[in-house]
Chain A
């Protein structure tokens, strides 16, 4: 075994030189001569019947090649939008979805036609000239009213607006515990809709070659192999005739996982017109039509004893699924499965989810997907209980944590937390933030009429999906594993093809670190390739759910070890020794006790393609591996936010943010810290700034540009103080856990808890997100009015 040299080291990313010089290869950077541009004609209504569509004028415009409607696409595109079971195997209603509406539109922005023209400008001109008449229909815009029998329906052919209604555990589960409770706290917690907003919007280019019946699709996606299956299936082509290429991708955050209408329409148009076609989403289209995240109401009740120990929990999730169920829309129900957080629930947890169809764009995973909601609800409830009991929220947490000695710990829903030391991260965070001094300062400031608050979030996360056995049902049959193929060339240089996909995570660097240590080959000689279905293993599952390192990185490790095993046999043959007598160290195999008698990995690579191999050994030095983890991984941590609220303006200023996280062993601290810092920014963004807003009456999107949808800037987001503890995961050989979503999962609860803590003297016990100055000011006014 090679001595670890690179794993754990702060290696600067090899991706960066091309990205800081303008040399990135994003889909829209691909400029192929003769490529047509597509623009999409979209519904301006949330719900309407299409009464007339006239493309005559548009078709007559110079440069317009075709106006295509549902009638044109129906002969070439089959099937319906893919909807994975996720955590809800049995759904009540899954509305059929075709990429272009033909008679009824069910959300603002739904495609009704596309215009294909010689360039972008002419396509946009063409789209503006397509005449569509609509008869507006009542829109479903209110999540709870949608459940009433006399509510309008999201689709005219529906009998109700229920997508699913599933009790993970019946309410009876907790009946006894609630009966014995000495205190019950309740809250209705809103999770506003969020727009994932990668800075690169979605885009697709396609070229169909009729001679070899080959379709090439370039697109910004987090999972090229899934995209290929969907596109090939819809076009009725063999999977192998479709090649999906996704080089550099400008962020995803979950929104580039699912299937979208344009993913089908662009290839179909290319096939119909026998010309390459490209389409890039505008930002307004992105806010209108790229899946949103969250969009939930959570009714929560916590039963406890007066000493602060928890008994049981009830969660009822109302989830706004939008007008169609998203490909992985039901994944967000894991908010129920993780609602218990880092704590023990002797009386159990009752959890029910209702997925509700509305006339809005579908929701799907957005960074954290279900886990931020779970963390937010439980961490809010813990603080609420602490206030009711007049206890320190830290003490309530300590009292109920799963203890370090209790791992592996199986929760109410049968999920097994692999390893942890929750109190360890909390203790470190308290020390870093200077907790007792802070509480003293809070008291002093309160006497001066100033509102300082301290908020905690002791979060946990399930991530690193697989295992295959636990996830095959959730995807509809494909068990989540991850693949890697390692090729050692005769000159000793290495190419590794991975099935996961990077869009900012730094796979090219960290995977090379792992491979270098495992293979004993210099980092510089190892190239990581991804994002092209024509290269590497038959299937890759992609990057989401903080799975790249814990599953994909382990596939790199596993395949690299297969190379080492074969190299050992070749080395033994070359050294005329028994494999058992060889030692592998720093890229060399030497005979035990005789370091001079050795072969380097480079020499072995050359020999693997030469004339003299061990008896029965194949030529070449290549290996492929699929890593199927035995369990999920469970990172955790403690975040502390310190906020001061100005009661005159309702402005909440974050004074300090401390995060102590534990993602097991760290491959590259630079990247881990970057992920945490960026994740926290998105959590703060939800807590204080961002909200997708629709007009209640008509379902019109009111946040259709970045003027209204407030992605925070460098002037708003503080630099968090980061630290970590290390509790290795037993679920993989390197002991790693995912860290991509951690910051976002943790942060909103820490911020809101801090604000509520600040305003506690006013009797405020809960605040919904985003806690804008406007919302806070109103709540403060109300509270002060009430006190007078």
Chain B
């Protein structure tokens, strides 16, 4: 067995201290060590983005980051988007706009879109599409995903709901 390294990381507001192998990928640390299985693995080459999580507010493909690299950092995963059982505006929008079918890529899209809306609160459709080109969806053809992100943006802008940016900053 390889030597283990201590890691202390905040995920969705809870701090976890664990010993990990240096080669442990972040996505498997989240899924198998912490039981947060909402983050999925869809490829081995960081093309599909199903494993996207936020590390200190920035989107990261967790299949291409080691768990040890997150020591001392603040992580947000799909499980951290809803607060006290209430969906956030982006989740609501994915639901309303039928932005998912099989749902496997959805957590990655939600996290990438969270980061996108944090950096650009009112993106055009084109900006949404370009902003999400690191994620693959095989079911929807993306139309409803783009609609969902824009409608979430409007909801947040009009104050209809809690800003997604709060979640993006890891404060949700």
A539 contacts chain B at the CB level, 8 A cutoff:
no
Would B140 and A197 count as touching, CB distance under 8 A? no
Q: What are some 22 contacts across the A-B interface (CB < 8 A)?
A: A20-B81, A20-B103, A21-B81, A22-B39, A121-B24, A198-B138, A199-B40, A199-B42, A199-B50, A199-B136, A199-B138, A200-B102, A250-B103, A250-B104, A675-B101, A680-B141, A707-B47, A713-B142, A714-B137, A714-B142, A715-B129, A719-B142
User: Given A705-B43, A706-B47, A714-B132, A719 and B91 touching (CB < 8 A)?
Assistant: no
Bound state CA distance, A521 and B135, in angstroms?
Answer: 41
- Chain B residues near A21 (CB, 8 Å)? 38, 78-79, 81-82, 87, 91
Contact of A504 among B35, B48, B102 (CB under 8 A): B102
Contact with B along A1-41 (1 / 0, CB 8 A): 00000000000110111011111101011010000000000
Would B101 and A504 count as touching, CB distance under 8 A? yes
Chain B CB within 10 Å, residue with most, of A13, A670, A674, A743: A674
Give the 6 A-B CB pairs with smallest separation, nearest first: A22-B38, A250-B104, A19-B103, A681-B141, A504-B102, A504-B101
Find the B residue at minimum CB distance from A62.
B1
User: Given A253-B138, A678-B139, A706 and B45 touching (CB < 8 A)?
Assistant: yes
Min C-beta distance of A722 to chain B, whole Å: 9
User: Given A16-B94, A200-B42, A283-B43, A503 and B102 touching (CB < 8 A)?
Assistant: yes
Bound state CA distance, A382 and B12, in angstroms?
Answer: 58
B125-171 contacts to A, CB under 8 A, are 128-130, 132-146
Would A674 and B104 count as touching, CB distance under 8 A? no
- Chain B residues near A419 (CB, 8 Å)? none
- Chain A residues near B104 (CB, 8 Å)? 24, 26, 198-200, 248, 250-251
- Chain A residues near B101 (CB, 8 Å)? 251, 504-506, 674-675, 678
- Chain A residues near B105 (CB, 8 Å)? 199, 250
Bound state CA distance, A678 and B78, in angstroms?
Answer: 24
Contact of A717 among B28, B87, B142 (CB under 8 A): B142
Contact with A along B33-75 (1 / 0, CB 8 A): 0011111111111011010000000000000000000000000
Find the A residue at minimum CB distance from B102.
A504
Chain B CB within 10 Å, residue with most, of A22, A29, A63, A199: A199
- Chain A residues near B102 (CB, 8 Å)? 198-200, 248-251, 503-504
A120 contacts chain B at the CB level, 8 A cutoff:
yes
Contact with B along A604-629 (1 / 0, CB 8 A): 00000000000000000000000000
- Chain A residues near B98 (CB, 8 Å)? 12-13, 670-671, 673-674
Chain A residue total in the interface (Cβ 8 A)? 59
Contact with B along A496-529 (1 / 0, CB 8 A): 0000000111100000000000000000000000
B16 contacts chain A at the CB level, 8 A cutoff:
no
Chain B positions within 8 Å of A, measured between CB atoms, are 1, 21, 23-24, 28, 31-32, 35-45, 47-48, 50, 77-79, 81-82, 87, 91, 94-96, 98, 100-107, 110, 128-130, 132-146
A468 contacts chain B at the CB level, 8 A cutoff:
no
Min C-beta distance of A404 to chain B, whole Å: 30
- Chain A residues near B36 (CB, 8 Å)? 22
- Chain B residues near A23 (CB, 8 Å)? 38
Find the B residue at minimum CB distance from A14.
B95
Bound state CA distance, A471 and B32, in angstroms?
Answer: 44
Min C-beta distance of B54 to chain A, whole Å: 13
Min C-beta distance of A221 to chain B, whole Å: 13
- Chain B residues near A719 (CB, 8 Å)? 141-143, 146
- Prevailing SS type, chain A contact patch: loop
Min C-beta distance of B64 to chain A, whole Å: 13
Would A720 and B44 count as touching, CB distance under 8 A? no
Find the B residue at minimum CB distance from A747.
B141
A240-284 contacts to B, CB under 8 A, are 248-251, 253, 280, 282-284
Min C-beta distance of B88 to chain A, whole Å: 9
Bound state CA distance, A680 and B139, in angstroms?
Answer: 10
Bound state CA distance, A504 and B37, in angstroms?
Answer: 19
Contact with B along A636-650 (1 / 0, CB 8 A): 000000000000000
Min C-beta distance of B102 to chain A, whole Å: 3
Bound state CA distance, A743 and B41, in angstroms?
Answer: 27
A459-518 contacts to B, CB under 8 A, are 503-506
Chain A positions within 8 Å of B, measured between CB atoms, are 12-13, 15-17, 19-24, 26, 28-29, 31, 62-63, 120-121, 197-201, 248-251, 253, 280, 282-284, 503-506, 670-671, 673-675, 677-682, 705-707, 711, 713-715, 717, 719-720, 743
Total of A-B residue pairs, C-beta within 8 Å? 187
Bound state CA distance, A714 and B135, in angstroms?
Answer: 8
Would A20 and B110 count as touching, CB distance under 8 A? yes
- Chain B residues near A677 (CB, 8 Å)? 140-141, 143-144
Would A681 and B42 count as touching, CB distance under 8 A? no
Chain B CB within 10 Å, residue with most, of A20, A251, A679, A715: A20
Would B106 and A29 count as touching, CB distance under 8 A? no
Would A28 and B44 count as touching, CB distance under 8 A? no
- Chain A residues near B82 (CB, 8 Å)? 21
Would B141 and A16 count as touching, CB distance under 8 A? no
- Chain A residues near B28 (CB, 8 Å)? 120
Find the B residue at minimum CB distance from A23.
B38
- Chain A residues near B137 (CB, 8 Å)? 199, 714
User: Given A21-B78, A253-B138, A713 and B43 touching (CB < 8 A)?
Assistant: no
Bound state CA distance, A714 and B142, in angstroms?
Answer: 5
Would B141 and A678 count as touching, CB distance under 8 A? yes
Min C-beta distance of B62 to chain A, whole Å: 13
User: Given A20-B95, A705-B44, A720-B141, A713 and B78 touching (CB < 8 A)?
Assistant: no
- Chain B residues near A283 (CB, 8 Å)? 42-45, 47-48
Bound state CA distance, A493 and B41, in angstroms?
Answer: 37
- Chain A residues near B50 (CB, 8 Å)? 199
Bound state CA distance, A251 and B48, in angstroms?
Answer: 14
- Chain B residues near A707 (CB, 8 Å)? 45, 47
Would B138 and A22 count as touching, CB distance under 8 A? no
- Chain B residues near A15 (CB, 8 Å)? 103
Would A713 and B136 count as touching, CB distance under 8 A? yes
Min C-beta distance of B79 to chain A, whole Å: 4
Bound state CA distance, A743 and B136, in angstroms?
Answer: 18
Find the B residue at minimum CB distance from A502.
B102
Bound state CA distance, A12 and B144, in angstroms?
Answer: 13
Find the B residue at minimum CB distance from A680.
B141
Find the A residue at minimum CB distance from B91.
A20
Bound state CA distance, A164 and B37, in angstroms?
Answer: 45
Assuming A199-B102, A714-B129, what are 18 further A-B pairs, CB within 8 angstroms? A22-B36, A23-B38, A26-B40, A31-B37, A199-B137, A250-B42, A250-B105, A283-B42, A670-B98, A677-B141, A706-B45, A707-B45, A714-B133, A714-B135, A714-B145, A714-B146, A715-B132, A743-B141
Bound state CA distance, A28 and B41, in angstroms?
Answer: 9
Would B81 and A16 count as touching, CB distance under 8 A? no
Min C-beta distance of B32 to chain A, whole Å: 6
Contact of A121 among B23, B140, B141 (CB under 8 A): B23
